[in-house]
């Protein structure tokens, strides 16, 4: 699971085998979902016996699965040492979108995000990232057609900041697009980022998947508060890097800007106007995400009227604006609710608790 086609090719060359064996293995594992090497019948018996001794196809361990009333499904996966990650499958008519995690926890610590509040443990490896797609794809019945693809879209929007885990994420997205593996179109694989400027520029050298930017505020003062990494990479720099990425894509690419709406924090008409001015001339869509509450947060979701008002203002300025419907909140699978279990190496939870204690004392 943890090897790209190139790396598998090198492995076979080192065995004195032909490089194209790598493509055969990729097809068995990722296209047909076969993890038992002895069943890979286009390899000679001798080679299969050798591979069985030397290798294994290790699939991540699912420890819990929950189905929402609305068809959304959440898996909890153990990645060792008590760390748990979550992934979510969202069926929508003919589409099925898988929301994939890239890290155990997240170091960015956005003020509105449950994953961020959990602190950070570690990056996921390639096998742990692509293994999520493997598990979800093979949870469907394939007895009639082993080649049938059930998952049409992948969004790197689960736990973690994907661009903080650059190499494994880029390699995993490579397998997602590879026609011998999952064969997804580059427009249907989306990387969502809080806005790491150097990594966005670097990504353009390796990939041309769809990019989504978690903007959430139209000015630096407010964004510094909501998305702390903005202090390092302010909005102007961020937009420049996104333009650079889009220009390199060589097609008429539209960037999606995500804007979480938090009651009385960033949902005023004044800010909608600022946002409209900021993104003028930028080929983009705006996706509004009404805040999903969780217990450690005192933020509130705005009323539907306030959400509509924000949307209609932007639409009146000519923007395409969608409102993300909340899916799977009955099983805590909605945006920002993925927490897994994080051995917090940053000790953020502890520090936050101390802060609260000091506040209580001072009251
Ligand atoms: N780290 C990346 C990808 C994971 S977060 C990023 O920030 O883009 C995926 C999306 O969920 C982001 O747009 C994020 O802003 C949103 N999100 C986080 N917490 C949320 C909450 N409590 N309610 C609604 N959306 C939330
Ligand atoms: Fe990390 Fe994204 Fe959550 Fe921010 S919103 S803390 S970047 S996972």
Catalytic site positions: 86, 335
pLDDT at 99: 96
What kind and span of H or E run contains 299? none
> Closest residue (by CA) to atom 8 of ligand 2?
160
Task: Count CB neighbours of 146 within 10 A.
Answer: 10
**Four-point Cα dihedral 95, 100, 106, 108, nearest 10:** -40
Q: Which residues sit with their C-beta closer than 6 Å to ligand 2? A: 106, 108-110, 113, 115-116, 160-161, 194, 214
In angstroms, what is the span from residue 157 Cα to ligand 1's centroid? 7
Q: How far is CA 169 from the centre of its chain?
A: 9
Task: Pick from 336, 338, 339, 340 the residue to mutate for probing ligand 1's pocket: most ligand atoms within 8 Å of its CB.
Answer: 336
If you count them, how many residues does the chain have? 363
Separation between Cα atoms, residue 102 and residue 161, nearest integer Å: 7
pLDDT at 355: 57
Ligand 2 atom closest to Cα of residue 336: 3
Ligand 1 atom closest to Cα of residue 297: 22
pLDDT at 361: 43
Task: Count CB neighbours of 216 within 10 A.
Answer: 26
Task: Pick from 192, 215, 293 the residue to mutate for probing ligand 1's pocket: most ligand atoms within 8 Å of its CB.
Answer: 192
Ligand 1 atom closest to Cα of residue 213: 8
> Closest residue (by CA) to atom 5 of ligand 1?
157
In angstroms, what is the span from residue 42 Cα to ligand 1's centroid? 44
Separation between Cα atoms, residue 239 and residue 197, nearest integer Å: 9
Computed over every residue of the chain, the mean pLDDT equals 92
310-354 per-position pLDDT tens digit:
999 999 999 999 998 777 777 777 776 776 778 888 877 676 665
Answer yes or no: is pLDDT of 359 > 60: no
User: Closest-lying ligand to the alpha carbon of 333?
Assistant: 1
Answer yes or no: is pLDDT of 11 > 80: yes
282-321 per-position pLDDT tens digit:
999 999 999 999 888 999 999 999 999 999 999 999 999 9
What whole-number percentage of the chain has pLDDT above 70? 95
* 356 confidence band (pLDDT: 50, 70, 90): low
In angstroms, what is the span from residue 52 Cα to ligand 2's centroid? 40
In the three-class reduction of DSSP (H, G, I as helix; E, B as strand; rest coil), residue 261 is classed as: strand
Answer yes or no: is pLDDT of 279 > 70: yes
Nearest to 234 by CA among 256, 248, 215: 215
In angstroms, what is the span from residue 293 Cα to ligand 2's centroid? 15
Buried b (16+ CB within 10 A) or exposed e, 115-131: bbbbbbbbbbbbbbbbb
153-195 per-position pLDDT tens digit:
999 999 999 999 999 999 999 999 999 999 999 999 999 999 9
Separation between Cα atoms, residue 295 and residue 64, nearest integer Å: 21
| pLDDT (average), residues 228-245 | 97
CA 340, 345, 346, 348 dihedral sign is: positive
pTM of the model: 0.94
| pLDDT (average), residues 249-278 | 95
pLDDT at 220: 98
- Kindly state if the Cβ of 199 falls inside 6 Å of ligand 1: no
In angstroms, what is the span from residue 113 Cα to ligand 1's centroid? 6
- Kindly state if the Cβ of 193 falls inside 6 Å of ligand 1: yes
pLDDT at 252: 78
In angstroms, what is the span from residue 116 Cα to ligand 1's centroid? 9
């Amino acid at each position: 699971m943890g090897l790209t086609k190139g790396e598998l090719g090198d492995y076979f060359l080192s065995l004195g085998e032909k490089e194209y064996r790598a493509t055969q293995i990729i097809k068995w594992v990722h296209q047909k979902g076969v993890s038992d090497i002895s069943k890979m019948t286009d390899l000679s018996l001798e080679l299969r016996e050798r591979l069985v001794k030397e290798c294994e196809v290790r699939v991540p361990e699912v420890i819990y699965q929950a189905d929402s009333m609305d068809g959304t499904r959440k898996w909890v996966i153990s990645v060792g040492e008590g760390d748990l990650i979550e992934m979510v499958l969202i069926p929508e008519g003919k589409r099925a979108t898988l929301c994939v995690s890239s890290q155990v926890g997240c170091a960015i610590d956005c003020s509105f995000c449950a994953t961020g509040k959990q602190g950070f443990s570690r990056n996921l490896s390639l096998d742990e990232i692509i293994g999520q797609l493997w598990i979800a794809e093979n949870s469907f019945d394939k007895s009639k057609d082993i080649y049938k693809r059930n998952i049409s879209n992948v969004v790197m929007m689960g736990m973690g900041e994907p661009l903080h885990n650059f190499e494994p994420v880029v390699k995993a997205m490579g397998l997602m697009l590879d026609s011998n593996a999952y064969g997804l179109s580059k427009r249907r694989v989306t990387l969502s980022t809080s806005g790491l400027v150097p990594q966005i520029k670097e990504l353009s050298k390796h990939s041309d998947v769809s990019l989504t930017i978690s903007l959430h505020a139209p000015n630096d003062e407010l964004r510094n508060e909501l998305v702390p990494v903005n202090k390092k990479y302010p909005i102007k720099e961020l937009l420049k890097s996104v333009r650079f990425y889009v220009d390199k894509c060589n097609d008429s690419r539209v960037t999606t800007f995500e804007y979480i709406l938090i009651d009385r924090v960033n949902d005023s008409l004044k800010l909608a106007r600022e946002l409209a001015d900021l993104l003028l001339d930028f080929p983009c869509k705006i996706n509004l995400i009404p805040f999903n509450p969780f217990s450690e947060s005192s933020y509130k979701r705005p009323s539907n009227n306030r959400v509509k008002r924000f949307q209609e203002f932007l639409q009146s300025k000519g923007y395409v604006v969608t409102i993300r419907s909340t899916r799977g909140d009955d099983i805590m699978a909605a945006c920002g609710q993925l927490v897994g279990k994080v051995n917090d190496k940053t000790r953020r939870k502890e520090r936050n608790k101390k802060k609260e204690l000091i506040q209580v004392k001072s009251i």
